[in-house]
Amino acid sequence: MIDIINRDMTVLQLLRRLALPAAGLVLLSIPGAFAQEHAPAGDITSQDEIKQFCTNIADPARDQRYLLQKQELEKLRADIDARMAEMDKRKTEYQDWLKRRDDFLKQAEAGLTEIYRKMKPDAAALQLQDMKIEVASAVIMRLGPRQSSLILNEMDPQKAAVIASVIASASDPNTSKDPS
């Protein structure tokens, strides 16, 4: 301070020397004040920029998410289609097998019925009473009434009664056609 204040200097000279730095300080503090006034506006702008940035990022992210979901759904659809094709193939195989089985059973029943038709009633009765009731009933139903009555007459009375009951229930219209 000694350099600034010289004893020969007057107060006016001292003020002139200090005025320039003081004016500089005032000018430097004014933009800071303006900057502080604009700070909330800057926050609003930055908030708008943040929202805009998030919106700009959200759309591609949503699109990417939708794309991934679509790909996953397409993958699941392809898997379902493959499984359905396999099920259709198995269904066709099963229907073919079932048709062959039914054809075989019809031929077997026809052949079996023909065998018992040619047998004597007492020999047929002995064999039929040892068979499953359903099979024996089916064979006896396919025979003529005269031959069926002769075979049932030669059978054990209890077995004959059960077979007659099965035959009667088969001809009952209230009985379900579904064997299960």
pLDDT tens digits for 37-50?
444 544 556 888 87
The answer to whether residues 123 and 163 belong to one domain is yes
Q: How far apart are CA 93 and CA 153, in angstroms?
A: 45
User: Is residue 8 in some structural domain?
Assistant: no
User: Is residue 70 in some structural domain?
Assistant: yes
User: Is residue 17 in some structural domain?
Assistant: no
User: Is residue 145 in some structural domain?
Assistant: yes
Give the least confident one: 6-10, 17-21, 103-107, 144-148. 6-10
Domain that holds residue 87: 51-102
Token digits for 41? Answer: 């506006």
Query: What is the number of domains present in the chain?
Result: 2
Q: In this structure, are residues 113 and 86 in contact, taking their beta carbons and an 8 Å threshold? A: no
The answer to whether residues 87 and 128 belong to one domain is no
Q: How far apart are CA 60 and CA 82, in angstroms?
A: 33
User: Is residue 144 in some structural domain?
Assistant: yes
Give residues with Cβ within 8 angstroms of 166, minimum separation 6: 133, 134, 137
User: Is residue 180 in some structural domain?
Assistant: no
Of the residues 72, 102, 132, which one is the last residue of a structural domain? 102
Average pLDDT, the chain: 80
* Per-residue pLDDT, 85: 95
Label residue 57 by pLDDT band (50, 70, 90). confident
Torsion of CA 107, 110, 115, 116, to 10 degrees: 140
